[in-house]
Amino acid sequence: MSLLSIPMNKTFLISLLASLTLHAEEGFVPMFEPNSLKGWVNANCAPETWSIKDGVISCTGKPTGALRTERQYENFILEAEWRHLSEAGNSGIFVWGTPISSPGVPFLRGIEVQVLDHGYMKKADPTKPRWFSTHGDVFPIHGAAMDPHGEHSGSRSFPNEERSKPSPEWNHYRIEANNGRLTLAVNGKIVSGGDNCNYRKGYLALESEGAPVEFRNVRLKELPTTNTPAEMTAPLDKGWRALYTGTDFRGWKVPAAGGSKWQSSDWSIKLLAGQTGPALWSQQEYGDCEVICDVNLPKDVDLSKPAAGLCVRGLSHPLVMFGAGGKAPISLGPDQVSPGKWYRIRALLKGNQAQITLTEAQDANPRSFEITVDHGASGSIGLADLTQAVSYANIYVRSL
């Protein structure tokens, strides 16, 4: 039967033409299998945050985090359709990102292509200068850099035309990334972007940020390499695994005594002030490994006393402790750390040797320590309870 002989209404014809147009350009490959997340990594979300059925990727929005690609990409054209399922929904597509979240935040370092519903504008104060839009902002986050195109606020490129559709309608994005230049087309027209991006090779990711969102028809066409130098390439994944789901304490042994002081708070774990109690221990034990843990010291923390710490191999005394007066191989008092800031501990454990780096969030100059410690061959990883209110986040481990 001839295609022309099939009865067609106007809606069907428009849909057919859109489908033919979508597949007319050669060289694109789908980024997802119809019913599998194969090729993607849940960077720091709960197991149920991301799912896929019949080619539609669904995100619950909880916790804040990312689903990223297994491999890095350099130059490419990425197309995707998205829609929010509730008013004022927030999400994004990360370009040239890191494998794990940046210190003190749940986001990958990279260039964010904003995926924001129109209802979000209701939160804006019309008396203040515009700092975001809902029609396709592009901006660097958490250590990345970009020279924005067109109207902008700082490094944030605003779209030159309002083209996105509100929830629950579908929108189409086309992202072209080549040699450090990135442009975004919203529903068929380029509206924003930037030059001199750093990084300009890294992971691609979809963002979870508080509200249900869906993606479909995610496809990519790779472009020729421009030999991105190492200093503009995101770090490679070394096999990191997040120990915290962002929603609950699955995988942890919550202490029966004082367990209510440990609170799951989106992407971070809050410890309320109180009497000294047991650490929050991982159920799994680790031997030689590398551990990452972020610690937030509130503004009212008393650093003349023990405040927070990372425990390893089941030992009750922390390997690294914030505050003075306690027992730890590395104690960081008020002369070394400050209230109101996030710090990242990175501990490499081999036998009885420990190499520690401490980085303040957004600081490119970590402090290093190398010590010999008397600890067992393996044991659980613990977050110390040292009576003061603190927060822990971004807890990752990789076995050596």
Of 175, 172, 174, residue with least CA distance to 187: 172
Of 154, 156, 147, 159, the residue nearest 198 (C-alpha) = 147
- Of 346, 345, 328, the C-alpha closest to 337 is 345
Picking from 294, 327, 299, 284, the residue whose alpha carbon sits closest to that of residue 395 is: 294
At 48, list the tokens.
């149920």
Kindly report, residue by residue over 213-225, the tens digit of the pLDDT. 999 999 999 999 9
What pLDDT shows up at residue 147? 98
DSSP element (H, E) containing 374? none
- Which helix (H) or strand (E) covers residue 27, if one does? none
Confirm if 356 and 368 have CB atoms less than 8 A apart: yes
Give 193's Cβ-side CA count (13 Å radius): 18
Q: How far apart are CA 180 and CA 207, in angstroms?
A: 21
Q: Are 394 and 103 in contact (CB under 8 A)?
A: yes
pTM, two decimals, is 0.91
What is the C-alpha separation between 333 and 92, in angstroms, rounded?
39
d(CA 249, CA 306): 24
Cβ-in-10-Å burial (0-12, 13-18, 19+) of 180 comes to buried
Mean pLDDT computed over every residue of the chain: 92
Convert the pLDDT of each residue in 180-192 to its tens digit: 999 999 999 999 9
What secondary structure letter does DSSP report for 237?
P
Q: What are phi and psi of 377, to 5 degrees?
A: -70, -30
pLDDT in tens, 41-65: 999 999 999 999 999 999 999 999 9
Q: Looking at the predicted structure, is the pLDDT value of residue 22 above 70?
A: no
Residue 27: pLDDT band (50, 70, 90) is: very high
3-state SS assignment for residue 119? helix
Closest CA to 293 of 83, 79, 104: 104
CB 342 within 8 A of CB 362: no
d(CA 331, CA 91): 39
**What residues contact residue 17 under an 8 Å CB cut-off, 6+ apart?**
none
Average pLDDT of the segment spanning 208-214:
97
What pLDDT, on the 0 to 100 scale, is given for residue 9?
A: 53
pLDDT-derived band of residue 13, with 50, 70 and 90 as boundaries?
very low
Q: Which domains does the chain have, with CATH numbers?
A: 22-235 (2.60.120.560), 242-399 (2.60.120.560)
The backbone region for 54, taken as left when phi is positive above 0, alpha when psi lies in -120 to 50, beta otherwise, is left
Q: Which helix (H) or strand (E) holds 282?
A: strand 280-286
The whole-number pLDDT of residue 5 equals 47
Q: Are strands 320-322 and 90-97 parallel, antiparallel or unpaired?
A: unpaired
pLDDT at 18 over 90: no
Nearest to 141 by CA among 178, 111, 101: 111
Helices marked H in 158-204: none
- Type of residue numbered 137: D
What pLDDT is attached to residue 375? 66
Closest listed residue to residue 353, CA positions, set 329, 383, 317: 329
Q: Which residue from 383, 131, 134, 125 is spatially nearest to 261, judged by alpha carbons? A: 383
pLDDT band at 365 (very low <50, low <70, confident <90, very high): confident
Helix extents (H) in the chain? 10-22
Question: In a 3-state reduction of DSSP, which class is residue 158?
Answer: coil
